[in-house]
Structure 1
């Protein structure tokens, strides 16, 4: 099959409409099954209106990701096409690719929008449950436009319509940012919806994150006290002239069937109602804020789940089981008399009597109501709220509903699935499924801690421990680029990053000044991880000053470089007190993370060419290590607190002199043995547990921890029916039932960080260079497993590692994508035991030898290889 260039992307996105990047970057993949396939050079062309505006000419480089535009300044509201061709490893030029495109937005975050003002529906008084408002404008066109774009945003959430037709399939738009600092807008192509004659532009507007009930103190109006809409329609006439129609005082507003809409409390819909009395909308004035195009996946319905069981635990109560803890909404299809009020409640678990368990929702009502119009089949989908649930309870019906009356609509940010993992153990496979579902449910606009109770916040600690796993499962490059902007927006004047992003504590917990160890450090760790996984240096440069201020804050507020931690410690460790932390000293955790982010900053400074800063960060890092060892480490390698997490931090973050590492490892093993080889770690320690053991030669012990199916361990929830990750190791136990009700989520992804280890140790895929330009293939099989397979669609293409074991032989099949190289470490005592395609490996052209961690390795050019070696 001839070489093809595929998966062309602009700023990680496929054909983005409305892009506010003045220097966009281009990426492509090489589809070429030949061994050794790679790129020697490329040529990139960008065109507008069929005229080439930039031709890179031939560039002798193997770069195929995030190549920056270098032509004349881009124009706003313009469609650009681009194509690529390369010269392959033989020096042969490829055919030109099929063109991709991007379209610019305003390209000026502070410029006022033409013909547009903020508008809202005035209310006489703020009701307890605020309805969704309809806002609309009717206008006349002499002819259908040649081109039409709707630019729209809100302080709140909106749903757009043109001529009665919903535009797009996005939910909860424009999403959530820190409305004190920045807003995002969406762009829609509405050319096909507009006609000659009268046209109507309309939007429904609800509170959303802006002014609805939000934050775990369940107060409203955190950012403002009323929702508002801003929109402008750009029309290009047949002669090329441009006309703008925007939100202003000429718009009308009314109320309709959505009589209440809130993210926590739910939605109330009266199907008997329709907008009737229209009154003038009111214009509002707000301080000028940056307004940028939304440049990552939008929240959409990704999947639908059918009911697997329908029960009636009490008279008139019908409980639908969707078989999977999920996030989103439902589609209700029902026939009932006019005026029938159906109450819909949501739950993750059932009580012993079969009724829904809702105590863990705390102050969130999480209830939708639907009042039937009557007269036939009715369909209802809530759209200004979302829920976390497996079970749906209906009350108010006079007759038993059909099982298909409820369908689960799975919502999350539209991310491309990139990684797969499977093995011979069904419990581990279910664990992997739980990790993915936990990520799907909580990667809804921002990386939330949980999706169901009165919280749903972008907790930074959860995100930073999970981001390596997240990047295996899904393409999260643009998702985290946006979220790191939220982090920077919320950075305190002191330099401390907030504990949640977008920041909400400024209003509900003002004495929380951020900078908490392992939480505030996400502002450094997450951009660094995105760079490692996707090769994106721009996320480093645009966050560099904020990251540096965070290190300066920690240095300034430390005592002799010992960093205090005042909030969370090793959050929810099994031996934790009711206050939330266990025996690992909080200042040890704080100082360990201080050292880690300072080391990262030295690397970031070096990559960005800030040589003086790199030297300064390296020197500071050395001083922090010395302070750490003086305060927390004994001469025999014992750590203060003598906890599993203390040793994991010291070993995992390279905080100890090399001579003390064997002793610290022995002390870690002793700490595990003290717990009968079970974990005793929380959010901080758990992600390090198996990676540290494997790094220091104890993969056998890491597997023992993995395979424990009693409390506490990863497989304990799996064995007890979990379909997502739990917040606590004991969120439910057979002998005690439900755990502490004040904080007991059954969809909380942090402990899913074990997923990275399944990919890079069990299956054996990890990166040796950013974006997997150089790949490490090093599976470490276990006798309990007969096979394991992982695939990852990297920025260069799909890498895979699959091994199968028989009594005598391991067969290991790997695929190295074009334009990369791989370092393969076979699970063999000697390379002399290794064969490729049943022949000695030396017979395969292009392979050479190397070492990795003092182990023999093979350097593999792109291609597919089938290894066989003895099973030992």
Structure 2
């Protein structure tokens, strides 16, 4: 589609104030249809005749803007009348906020200094067949809006009594248009609303609102006030051990709302930013506040829920809830690491460890496709992949298990949804990543040199380290092998000749075995088995089980080892131990945070320690989804629902549940591209009953029984 619009911008700098753009027009004859095409340098809210043009919030979303800036298309036919006004308020958004907050760079200064801009066209189709296009040009106007400040980290300031005093003509802006693409990702939407559970006074005398659930989004409040009354709200995730409001872990993010009231009853929520929070501290609020005045509005990518997990243990059910909430909170247009502090970035390592769970919980094909396109756009010329996508950490090295998202994520999306288009579109990016490792290593067939995150936040880390005790070059070489193997698989799906990479893979495996005959940590054992690099997989898995028992039947792993630990144990005859780790409630465990009152997944196993103190203030998110990757073990091993690799998209499945009598029952289901697959087991005095329902052909294994099954319902006993 060809467009006529120019970029336009305010003729003068408005400072912190968000500009509002305006176009007025009159319909001259009966209208048949109207479409609005719009994007901005920042995030925008568009209204026609006072009504929002769509439920899409924080448009145009976050992409690698200099290469890919999404344009939204709205059907606005029903909003038009004889006389019309289009208004578009534009905030800094991701493009022009100081992101990330913890790094200072010339590139960041450049991005923050960028001017605001608006691009848009209104296409009018009349009943007589005539067409008219109202494209952004110098006839459009701008002025100051009531949004006096808006930014991703620091929040929003709004003056409800403010009315734009002066409208001026915009000027054309020489911003590029060759980077404009039509909307590609999921829309960001307000998906749920949660009423406040209580308003209370803390021991320190603070007035705090509790929603009972950590969310990503913003608060909507209603208040009866006088013009000029002020409201000041701070956001927080947790209370301290004394029950007082706590927000030191937000670091430099102010995460605040400042609101100047108009006269009378009024309702407000921010529109150009978002927060991660469970609690609000009311620094200023007219009169005494009640819970009925506050609603938490959940904002995330508009994803269809496809997975279900439930069991007889209330603590595990809370864990499952935390995993789903963690995904919702961090799947806000990109897979972020956290939604609250001065970060909120698309960390590649977090995304790759969680992508399987993510794709079972929700339909994320479109979501990941858009993000992976940004990854390909931001890939360096040498093939390196940044730690975060969209890239905003210039000059960084590429790390094993982080950059490998370039290969792991598209392969998993193909496996879950069966659409090889993702492999076609990402193949060059995948190949360039493997070539990058080959070209930068200091020792052929190993990955040596460079800087890596290691087994990030591993519990076996030496004092003062975040990286765990697993050897960084061990991890790097293991992922070198894994990515090369997945690249070969992708090539075969696409009918490409990759003999060169098959030979490379053989040499990597050989070099790995020669250089790493022994494994020193839980994570080293796990990778050697899960990536099939050890000479004796069963012995290595047995050694892992022995090491875990000697460690007190505790996990000692971090971001790299944790996603695979239960899989390895279950696949090699140690499902009892896998369940022991899964059901453990003492620190360290998945259920420790549940017992501490968590409603989302934590960044650290002990974000709040056993004595009630905090792990730290500098890096301690309480909504960080990576460790929620345990859910894919629940789907695939505990409930036993596994897609067969040769039948991508769940065209045919293996159903092989692994029950444990420490639970009375467990059930899971996945609504796949080819139909729903569900598995449940119930422990009874007579034995274990298995209830299977599958809409696709399946291989069912229950104990010693194995059968080919057509779609249908089945019951087995063991």
2 CA distance for matches of 1:547 and 1:619?
Answer: 17
Q: Does 1:201 align with 2:86?
A: yes
2 CA distance for matches of 1:758 and 1:780?
Answer: 9
Residue 731 of structure 1: which of 607, 611, 636 is its match?
A: 607
Q: Does 1:321 align with 2:201?
A: no
Aligned counterpart, 2:692: 814
1 CA distance for matches of 2:699 and 2:713?
Answer: 14
Answer whether contact 1:210 1:227 (CA < 8 A) is retained.
Answer: no
Q: Does 1:427 align with 2:305?
A: no
1 CA distance for matches of 2:667 and 2:299?
Answer: 28
Answer whether contact 1:490 1:501 (CA < 8 A) is retained.
Answer: yes
1 CA distance for matches of 2:614 and 2:661?
Answer: 35
Q: Does 1:666 align with 2:542?
A: yes
Structure 1 residues without counterparts, runs of 5 or longer: 1-105, 832-856
Aligned counterpart, 1:499: 387
Answer whether contact 1:157 1:208 (CA < 8 A) is retained.
Answer: yes
How far off is 1:316 after superposition?
Answer: 7.2
State the secondary structure of the residue aligned to 1:739.
Answer: coil
Q: How do 1:175-214 residues align onto structure 2 when only pairs under 5 Å count?
A: 175-196=61-82, 198-214=83-99
1 CA distance for matches of 2:590 and 2:624?
Answer: 13
Q: Does 1:631 align with 2:515?
A: yes
Cα 1:315/1:746, change in 2 over 3 Å: closer
1 CA distance for matches of 2:204 and 2:475?
Answer: 53
1 CA distance for matches of 2:185 and 2:468?
Answer: 38
Superposed CA offset, 1:744-799 (max 9, x none) = 00000000000000111111111012000011111100010111111111001111
How far off is 1:866 after superposition?
Answer: 2.3
1 CA distance for matches of 2:178 and 2:338?
Answer: 29
Superposed CA offset, 1:480-528 (max 9, x none) = 000101111110111011111111112xxx2x13x31000010111000
2 CA distance for matches of 1:152 and 1:257?
Answer: 21
State the secondary structure of the residue aligned to 1:616.
Answer: helix
How far off is 1:314 after superposition?
Answer: 6.5
Residue 556 of structure 2: which of 680, 699, 703 is its match?
A: 680
Q: Does 1:117 align with 2:13?
A: no
1 CA distance for matches of 2:575 and 2:465?
Answer: 33
Q: How do 1:28-47 residues align onto structure 2 when only pairs under 5 Å count?
A: none
1 CA distance for matches of 2:35 and 2:56?
Answer: 16
Superposed CA offset, 1:47-66 (max 9, x none) = xxxxxxxxxxxxxxxxxxxx
Residue 670 of structure 2: which of 771, 775, 792 is its match?
A: 792
Aligned counterpart, 1:89: none
Q: How do 1:581-592 residues align onto structure 2 when only pairs under 5 Å count?
A: 581-592=467-478
Answer whether contact 1:144 1:194 (CA < 8 A) is retained.
Answer: no
Aligned counterpart, 1:280: 169
State the secondary structure of the residue aligned to 2:39.
Answer: strand
2 CA distance for matches of 1:588 and 1:619?
Answer: 20
How far off is 1:296 after superposition?
Answer: 3.1
Aligned counterpart, 1:23: none
Aligned counterpart, 2:656: 778
Answer whether contact 2:345 2:389 (CA < 8 A) is retained.
Answer: yes
Answer whether contact 1:183 1:289 (CA < 8 A) is retained.
Answer: no
* TM-score scaled by length of structure 1: 0.80
State the secondary structure of the residue aligned to 1:377.
Answer: strand
Cα 1:336/1:316, change in 2 over 3 Å: farther
Answer whether contact 1:207 1:226 (CA < 8 A) is retained.
Answer: no
Answer whether contact 1:340 1:396 (CA < 8 A) is retained.
Answer: no
Aligned counterpart, 1:711: 587
Superposed CA offset, 1:704-738 (max 9, x none) = 11111111111110111111000001100132511
Residue 240 of structure 2: which of 345, 351, 354 is its match?
A: 351
How far off is 1:148 after superposition?
Answer: 0.9
Answer whether contact 1:328 1:409 (CA < 8 A) is retained.
Answer: yes
Answer whether contact 2:545 2:574 (CA < 8 A) is retained.
Answer: no
State the secondary structure of the residue aligned to 1:292.
Answer: strand
Aligned counterpart, 1:438: 326
Aligned counterpart, 2:529: 651
Structure 1 consecutive aligned stretches of length 4 or more whose deviation exceeds 6 Å = none
Q: Does 1:548 align with 2:431?
A: yes
State the secondary structure of the residue aligned to 2:505.
Answer: helix
Structure 2 residues without counterparts, runs of 5 or longer: none
Answer whether contact 1:548 1:601 (CA < 8 A) is retained.
Answer: yes
Answer whether contact 2:203 2:242 (CA < 8 A) is retained.
Answer: no
2 CA distance for matches of 1:443 and 1:275?
Answer: 35
1 CA distance for matches of 2:109 and 2:333?
Answer: 20
Superposed CA offset, 1:25-55 (max 9, x none) = xxxxxxxxxxxxxxxxxxxxxxxxxxxxxxx
Superposed CA offset, 1:232-277 (max 9, x none) = 1111122223211111111110112110000100000111101121
Residue 607 of structure 1: which of 474, 489, 493 is its match?
A: 493
Superposed CA offset, 1:344-383 (max 9, x none) = 1100001234332110001111011111112x21101111
Answer whether contact 2:453 2:467 (CA < 8 A) is retained.
Answer: yes
Superposed CA offset, 1:596-618 (max 9, x none) = 0000011111110112x2x2211
CA RMSD of superposed structures (Å): 1.5
How far off is 1:664 after superposition?
Answer: 1.4
Aligned counterpart, 1:522: 405
Aligned counterpart, 1:620: 504
1 CA distance for matches of 2:438 and 2:254?
Answer: 43
State the secondary structure of the residue aligned to 1:789.
Answer: strand
How far off is 1:218 after superposition?
Answer: 6.3
Aligned counterpart, 1:366: 255
Q: Does 1:400 align with 2:278?
A: no
How far off is 1:222 after superposition?
Answer: 5.2
Aligned counterpart, 1:750: 626
**Quick check: 345-354 or 284-293, which moved more?**
284-293
How far off is 1:814 after superposition?
Answer: 1.3
Q: Does 1:265 align with 2:149?
A: no
Q: Does 1:532 align with 2:418?
A: no
Q: How do 1:4-83 residues align onto structure 2 when only pairs under 5 Å count?
A: none
Answer whether contact 1:814 1:866 (CA < 8 A) is retained.
Answer: yes
Larger C-alpha radius of gyration, 1 or 2?
A: 1
1 CA distance for matches of 2:142 and 2:131?
Answer: 27
2 CA distance for matches of 1:218 and 1:445?
Answer: 22
Superposed CA offset, 1:578-612 (max 9, x none) = 3421210100010000000000011111110112x
1 CA distance for matches of 2:451 and 2:30?
Answer: 62
State the secondary structure of the residue aligned to 1:799.
Answer: strand
Q: How do 1:152-301 residues align onto structure 2 when only pairs under 5 Å count?
A: 152-196=38-82, 198-217=83-102, 223=111, 225-301=114-190
Aligned counterpart, 1:860: 709
Answer whether contact 2:89 2:145 (CA < 8 A) is retained.
Answer: no
**Quick check: 403-412 or 313-322, which moved more?**
313-322
Aligned counterpart, 1:309: 198
Residue 137 of structure 1: which of 3, 9, 23 is its match?
A: 23
Cα 1:532/1:394, change in 2 over 3 Å: same
1 CA distance for matches of 2:10 and 2:130?
Answer: 33
1 CA distance for matches of 2:154 and 2:292?
Answer: 25
Answer whether contact 1:143 1:195 (CA < 8 A) is retained.
Answer: no
Aligned counterpart, 1:689: 565
1 CA distance for matches of 2:572 and 2:202?
Answer: 53
State the secondary structure of the residue aligned to 1:272.
Answer: coil
1 CA distance for matches of 2:147 and 2:60?
Answer: 19
Answer whether contact 1:764 1:776 (CA < 8 A) is retained.
Answer: yes
1 CA distance for matches of 2:348 and 2:356?
Answer: 14
**Quick check: 363-372 or 394-403, which moved more?**
394-403
Cα 1:326/1:285, change in 2 over 3 Å: same
State the secondary structure of the residue aligned to 2:202.
Answer: strand
Residue 464 of structure 1: which of 338, 352, 356 is its match?
A: 352
2 CA distance for matches of 1:120 and 1:579?
Answer: 48
State the secondary structure of the residue aligned to 1:752.
Answer: helix
